[in-house]
Structure 1
Amino acid sequence: MSKKEDIIASFDPNGPGVSGQLFGLPFDYESADLIIIPVPWEVTVSYTAGTADGPQAILDASTQVDLFLKDVPDAWKMGIHMLPIDKELIKENKKYRDLAYKYISWLENNEEEWITDELKIIPNAVNEMAEKLNIYVRSQASKIHNQGKMVALLGGDHSTPLGIINAMADEYPDMGILQIDAHADLREAYENFTYSHASIMFNALKNKKISKLVQVGIRDYCDEEMQYITNSKGRVKTFFDSDIKAQQFEGTPWAKICDLIINELPKHVYISFDIDGLDPKLCPNTGTPVPGGFEFNEVVYLVKKVVESGRTIVSFDLNEVAPGETEWDANVGARLLYHLSTLMGVSQGKLTFKP
């Protein structure tokens, strides 16, 4: 038997699992089909901090996730492994977060008539470090993908996946993005930070290989972003939360709305999942919670329908999970991560739905 077959044969999925491993699974880098890149980064958060603690919190909470899924009973056998959380990156995040916080505080205090030399250099310093992070993530994602493995990213704030998005666009030039989010994230250099969490989709769409951005659940956005959507000539299709809810109130089933969403997607789909796309009761400690949003099973159903349509999920990210004082947010995030991982595996032929 192969190493992976030996691991599967000797592991009891009904037991307590392997301590310190994502979902308690026994797989290492070599034996796993899916590798998760953790990115504990939240330098440009503009409201509430805490998302840099998301990867560790989800790792800790994941051991409580039961591995059996009714539709994909062998889900755990695919093998999921998360890379070690980079302690040096945690230090860099704190250093540059402190700098960015000083600059954001200055902006919010409406004191633009004066600025110190120290404040002047902060945006460039933060932008340069964020660029290095993007290059690192892109390199890691490309390396993992080129080794024949699936790859995904766990943030951190929503600025973190730019590198992996660009890496996947290199491999799938017709790729589209399915963004589940409360925010449009189409601001240009929000608060003078090029790689702001509020600018991730603006930055992603600079890559001409990305054919389409389909946004779902958007309910907090500015005039600049609305103009971007309007002027995109169809490259950005936004399903606003208020419109979705109105359709549901008037009797349109969620299944029909999902069909409309999926019809806008190309063959190859990258999923960018900001947890604030959910109802905030499911993620109360996320950086910028907004009333409205989806129930957990609604978004799982949507992603499953994407897979059933014959489209391929080429990669995904899950971000903006902030643990707060309890494990609730991380608990929800861990279960989302397991479903996203499994459904990507089904779409790539690593797993199959039970008839």
Structure 2
Amino acid sequence: MTKQEKIDSFDPNGPASGNRIFGLPFSQKDAEIVILPVPWEVTVSYDAGTALGPEAILEASKQVDLYDPFVKDAWKMGIYMAKLDPKVIEKNRKYRDKAVAYLSAVEVGHEDETTDELLAKINKSCKKMVNWVQERTTELMNEGKRVILLGGDHSTPLGYLEALAKEHEFGILQIDAHADLRNAYEGFTYSHASIMFNALKIDNVKKLVQVGIRDYCEEEVEVIEASEGRVKTYFDRDLKHQQYAGATWKQQVDDIISQLPQKVYVSFDIDGLDPKLCPHTGTPVAGGFESEEVMYLFERLSESGKTIIGMDLNEVAPGPHDEWDANVGARLLYRMANLFGKNAGVVG
């Protein structure tokens, strides 16, 4: 069946069927947007569960209505989620257990040659994950696909950034509660708390614009201040205080977008939202955005004349008794995909 035949025979108003993302009928071959799931959370430092995010979002996506008033007939461009890789799932389980053992030993002061060896093995496994992501995203981009990486914890996009940097100079728009600028947090070179520190090692990442940051340490402030403008941080407190004094979100959004270069990668840690929307995320922090505030920023970016070259959504962790976090994540993922497609001119 051709893509057009799939579109003609599909009812976007009917209930979802099958086990494909959003109930859509497309394959990887005929989809414009491919979602790459990376169920990895080896280095999480608070609550676990984000490795279950991709599967939970896939299930919750069947409840998402496909009409998007901002992007006409968005679903027709084709969105496909690649299958979860059982090898990644197994390696995550194995090395997450090792990371827990390592952290437990460190907490009680039992560091020795054994813990050093254990840390080295964990860092090696995480490096392999980074390489795997780089290889998979490169393959997909070579097929002409626009890729959205779906974590997992926030360490997962580094390989994607490295893949993009082979072809582009770009900036990163980061929505997050945390600055993620720590150097090898807890000894983990590829910690979720070090993703942007590691991203800044990539020469072709020309600018990092952080939005909503509200939990950070002195070390990270020093990185920001020493960056000579390469890192621009919009702290949650400052944004809100400006609004209390009369600034509008539109004015702030326009300023945020003006800080970005022509090509932009969007990195969305869901804990950038108010934790009532993501209560089970790994490291929730009071404050943050409503979902529509973030989507307004993404919509303005998509219409700004700048080019979106990649996206990720991370740190969605399903709750033990409900799918609320996955429900929110699935809806955000759909709208992000639609905006990616609209910005690229393949829909809307």
| Kept in 2: contact 1:279–1:293 (CA 8 A) | yes
Contact 1:18 1:26 in 2 (8 A): no
Structure 1 residue 73: deviation in Å?
2.6
Distance in 2 separating the partners of 1:26 and 1:308: 28
Structure 2: give runs of 5+ residues left out of the alignment. none
Alignment-derived partner of residue 4 in structure 1 = 3
Q: CA deviation at 1:165?
A: 1.1
The equivalent of 2:276 in structure 1 is 281
CA contact (8 A) 1:37 1:82 kept: yes
For residue 314 of structure 2, what is the aligned residue in structure 1? 319
Residue 336 of structure 2: which of 333, 340, 351 is its match?
340
CA distance in 1: counterparts of 2:150 and 2:243, whole angstroms: 31
> Paired residue for 1:18?
17
2:122 corresponds in structure 1 to 126
Q: TM-score, normalised by structure 2?
A: 0.98
CA contact (8 A) 1:312 1:344 kept: no
Question: What residue is the counterpart of 2:93 in the other structure?
Answer: 94
Which whole-Å CA distance do the structure 1 matches of 2:344 and 2:166 have between them?
A: 18
In 1, distance between residues paired with 2:329 and 2:224?
29
Q: Does 1:191 align with 2:186?
A: yes
* Pairwise CA distance, 1:49: 0.3
Larger deviation, residues 41-50 vs 163-172: 163-172
- Mean Cα displacement is larger for which, 275-284 or 309-318? 309-318
1:238 has 2:233 as partner? yes
Match of 2:256 among 253, 261, 264: 261
- The TM-score normalised by the length of structure 1 is 0.96
Counterpart of 1:141 in structure 2 is 137
- Could you say what secondary structure the match of 2:29 adopts? coil
**Which is worse superposed, 293-302 or 100-109?**
100-109
- Deviation for aligned residue 1:115: 2.7
Which segment drifts farther, 119-128 or 289-298? 119-128
Q: Is contact 1:141-1:151 (8 Å) kept?
A: yes
Match of 2:51 in 1: 52
Tell me the alpha carbon deviations over residues 224-249 of structure 1, each in whole angstroms, 9 at most, x when there is no partner. Answer: 00000000000000000000000111
Distance 1:314 1:284 in 2: 30
In 1: Cα distance, 2:291 partner to 2:147 partner: 23
1:223 corresponds in structure 2 to 218
Q: How far apart, in 1, do the equivalents of 2:7 and 2:104 lie? A: 52
Equivalent pair of 2:267/2:311 in contact (CA under 8 Å): yes
Instruction: Name 2:61's counterpart in structure 1.
Output: 62
SS in 1 for 2:63: coil
Work out whether 1:159 is the aligned partner of 2:155: yes
- Give unmatched runs, 5+ long, in structure 1: none
Cα distance in 1, alignment partners of residues 300 and 125 from structure 2: 38
Count of matched residue positions in the alignment of Structure 1 and Structure 2: 347
Contact 2:72 2:347 in 1 (8 A): no
Distance 1:311 1:170 in 2: 19
Q: 2:296 aligns with which of 298, 301, 317?
A: 301
Determine the C-alpha separation between the residues in 2 that align with 1:122 and 1:283. Answer: 32
- In terms of mean alpha carbon deviation, does 238-247 or 144-153 score higher? 144-153
Q: What does residue 351 of structure 1 align with?
A: 347
* Other-structure match for 1:202: 197
Instruction: State the superposition RMSD in angstroms.
Output: 1.0
Distance in 1 between the 2:346 and 2:199 partners?
Answer: 28
**C-alpha separation between the residues in 2 aligned to 1:192 and 1:327?**
33
8 Å Cα contact 1:31-1:79 kept in structure 2: yes
Deviation of 1:108 after TM superposition, in Å, equals 2.8
Secondary structure in structure 2 of the residue aligned to 1:171: coil
1:179 aligns with one of 174, 178, 194: 174
- Matched residues in 1 for 2:332 and 2:312: separation? 11
Alpha-carbon contact 1:180-1:274 (below 8 Å) kept? yes
Contact 1:17 1:26 in 2 (8 A): no
Aligned-residue offset at 1:339 = 0.9
Q: What's the secondary structure of 2:54's corresponding residue?
A: helix
Report how far residue 17 of structure 1 moved.
2.3
Q: Matched residues in 1 for 2:228 and 2:116: separation? A: 37
Alignment-derived partner of residue 169 in structure 1: 165
Q: Counterparts of 2:111 and 2:247 in 1: how far apart (Å)?
A: 53
